[in-house]
Amino acid sequence: MTESDSYFYNFIPIEYNVSEMEREQILTKFPPPTLPDKGEYFNLQNEVAGNNVRIRVLLNDFNVQMTKTNKQFLKIRFSNNAGTINAKMWDNQGAVEKHQPLLDKFSIFDIDGIVDEFRGHKSLTINQLNPCQEDINPFSLLAYTQQNIEDLTIELFSYLNELESPFKDIALAAMNRFWDQFRIRPAAKGFHHNYLGGLLKHTVGLMRFARYILKQEENHYKATMKLISVVEKAYKNELWSQLQSSSTPQQLVWKDTIDHLYKMLQGMMEHREAQPNYDLMMTSILFHDIGKLLEYDHAGKTFDEFKFLFPTADHSNTENRKQAGITMDELGVMVGHIPYGVLTLSKIIETENIRVSLEDIHQMTHCILCHHGLPEWGACIRSPQSIEGYIIHFVDFLDSRYENTEEIK
């Protein structure tokens, strides 16, 4: 059964073969995360003033403030998968003194309150606030991709299953070990794919670009030039749309990108005699951002990746970590996802005792290290030194920016 769709302004065809049996096998071994039902999706803006509500929320921040009559109260900002929820709690029967230590210690709460509305802005007045210490589904508390995660899962493993050994062995070993977390994680906290499921979606996006360049076109240089032409057209459309708009100018997605893409194309041309290794390319894409499992923190994250990389370390620091919205991990930010990606690749190969050439290990490592393209953008290499290195930067650059044009993320 051939699955087909399109990507990147409907320019890149998405095609892969998967039977019903294969689909069932993939979803059994690599199940997508459980998404919240309607009862777990609370949007304050849909509530009527005066309604009593009982919901589970994430704590963003809080402070103690004073009323005009010099009485203290708690001003609190929560969030869930629908956005931010502003709230307050009056100091009835010592409520401020009672609840401030809980707000300092915990980040997930079950709250009972009443919907308020003032000048069109809705908030909550909290009557009861209790910390939640049971296992939670982060998808009920944080924004997540609106694309079909089951389909993204099938697409990812259809691509991985077509690889040859040892690359298939490396890729599937990583997913066997990390899938439970890989499937839910964001790919950023701000710029792109900054929601649960973002890492999966971004990884599949890069693979779509790479398949187009290396499989769907006869010449990877022509394919690259065609993609640049698509960007040029999209940029012109952005400029024209802004020219016709009477509203405040928006940030242009493709501003200052054309020259960089042509510069990367020129760099690729220095390797015109080299034939790109497709299997190596796809495996490198899988690992290019896998270090974000360690670089970011949020409610629902586990710390198994740290234990895998550093099994003899004292991990007590992570046991009582206060987790809330997507943020930089206090340890992960000291290293970054690019070095972590290299460490994870090396550890997988060693732990699974996979035989792979020293040259291929260095080629994959190089792809991970240079996928940001330039040192000032975070690359660990001055510039790519292989055709695969240029391609992985090219597809990462395109996918991360294209993300900001999609209506359904």
pLDDT digits (tens, 9 = 90+) for 43-89: 888 899 999 999 999 998 899 999 888 899 999 988 888 888 999 99
Mean pLDDT of the 261-277 span: 96
CA-closest candidate to residue 213, choices 292, 276, 273, 146: 276
pLDDT tops 90 at residue 259: yes
Percent of residues, the chain, with pLDDT higher than 70: 98
Mean pLDDT of the 221-230 span: 98
Token reading at 104:
């300092």
User: What does the alpha-carbon distance between residue 136 and residue 56 come to, in Å, rounded to a whole number?
Assistant: 10
Task: Give the pLDDT score at 244.
Answer: 87
pLDDT tops 90 at residue 178: yes
Token reading at 290:
């896998």
- What pTM did the predictor assign? 0.91
pLDDT tops 80 at residue 354: yes
| Residue 184: alpha-carbon gap to chain centroid | 8
Task: Give the pLDDT score at 245.
Answer: 80
Under DSSP, the state recorded for 318 is G
Mean pLDDT, the chain, rounded, equals 93
Where residue 39 falls among pLDDT bands split at 50, 70, 90?
Answer: low
Mean pLDDT of the 235-248 span: 87
User: What does the alpha-carbon distance between residue 400 and residue 257 come to, in Å, rounded to a whole number?
Assistant: 12
3-state DSSP assignment of residue 64: strand
